[in-house]
Amino acid sequence: MKFAVLVFPGSNCDVDMYHAIKDELGEEVEFVWHDATDLSGFDAILIPGGFSYGDYLRCGAMASQSNVMKAVKEAAEEGKPILGVCNGFQILTEAGLLPGALLRNKNLKFICRTVPLKVENNQTMFTNQYDQGQIIHIPIAHGEGNYYCDEETLKKLKENNQIVFTYAGENPNGSLENIAGIVNERGNVLGMMPHPERAVDALLGSADGLALFKSIVKQWRETHV
């Protein structure tokens, strides 16, 4: 299975993402620059965290208009798995691939710590290696992770089981309904504020993120082999 890690000016979790796939998961992975127009050679697209375009205007706004995002939209329509982490989540909402928006943290502070998450839906291509309701520990590091959407959208998210991860402890950023990660209606685009790629080795605090990447591979093998 071949993964693409998108790189924008200001991405800074791209190397962590690459390491997680290549060294911990053991799958093929390549960096792809933001002006690329073709992602057809990849089976999954990863949009890493960071501060694309310096967070100017709004987090993820400029990146959402880049060339590569047109290719990401095509890949999403083809049903390929697309994962956006942190700034990647912000880019996916700005691009309209996921509903809602990420606002400034309620306490106005940048928060960097490991938090407990609850797996709200293990029936997705990103979470099939977790138990339903499992508590996992994944680091967050963001200033704008306060998920917001209107009531109608929230109702839809709940009806379709699109809320995949919630904060299990104290809500760190004020996000609606403790939301930490959501999928699109089809279930192949996941956006989440916590960083699974930073939790792939017990030596570094937690390996709970690895199952997310293993889930993607499992789903892909079942449908392609």
Closest alpha carbon to 31 in 48, 50, 49: 48
Applying CB under 8 A, among 23, 30, 33, 65 the residue interacting with other proteins is 65
CB-wise, 107 or 132, nearer to other proteins? 107
31 near other proteins (CB under 8 A): no
Please report, in angstroms and rounded to a whole number, the separation of the first and last CA atoms in the chain.
11
What strands, in cross-sheet order, belong to the sheet with 135-142? 28-33, 2-7, 44-47, 82-85, 189-192, 179-183, 163-167, 111-119, 135-142
CB-wise, 13 or 62, nearer to other proteins? 62
30: tokens are 């390549």
149 near other proteins (CB under 8 A): yes
Applying CB under 8 A, among 70, 104, 137, 214 the residue interacting with other proteins is 104
Applying CB under 8 A, among 122, 174, 177, 218 the residue interacting with other proteins is 174
Smallest distance from other proteins to CB 107, Å = 7
148 near other proteins (CB under 8 A): yes
103 near other proteins (CB under 8 A): yes
Closest alpha carbon to 83 in 92, 95, 93, 74: 92
**Of 38-46, 55-63, 185-193, 203-211: span binding other proteins (CB under 8 A):** 55-63
Convert residues 83-102 into a mask of x (bound to other proteins by CB under 8 A) and - (unbound): ----------xx----xxx-
Q: C-alpha 202: how far from its chain's center?
A: 21
Catalytic residue among 13, 59, 86, 149: 86
111 near other proteins (CB under 8 A): no
Among this protein's residues, is 224 annotated catalytic? Answer: no
CB–CB of 3/27 below 8 Å?
yes
206: tokens are 């937690």
Among this protein's residues, is 19 annotated catalytic? Answer: no
CB-wise, 107 or 123, nearer to other proteins? 107
Q: What is the DSSP track for 39-107?
A: -TT-SEEEE--B-GGGG-SSTTTTGGGSHHHHHHHHHHHTT--EEEETHHHHHHHHTTSSSSEEEPPTT
144 near other proteins (CB under 8 A): no
CB–CB of 97/82 below 8 Å?
yes
Chain contacts with other proteins (rule: CB under 8 A):
57-58, 61-62, 65, 93-94, 99-101, 103-108, 148-150, 174
The catalytic site residues sit at 86, 195, 197
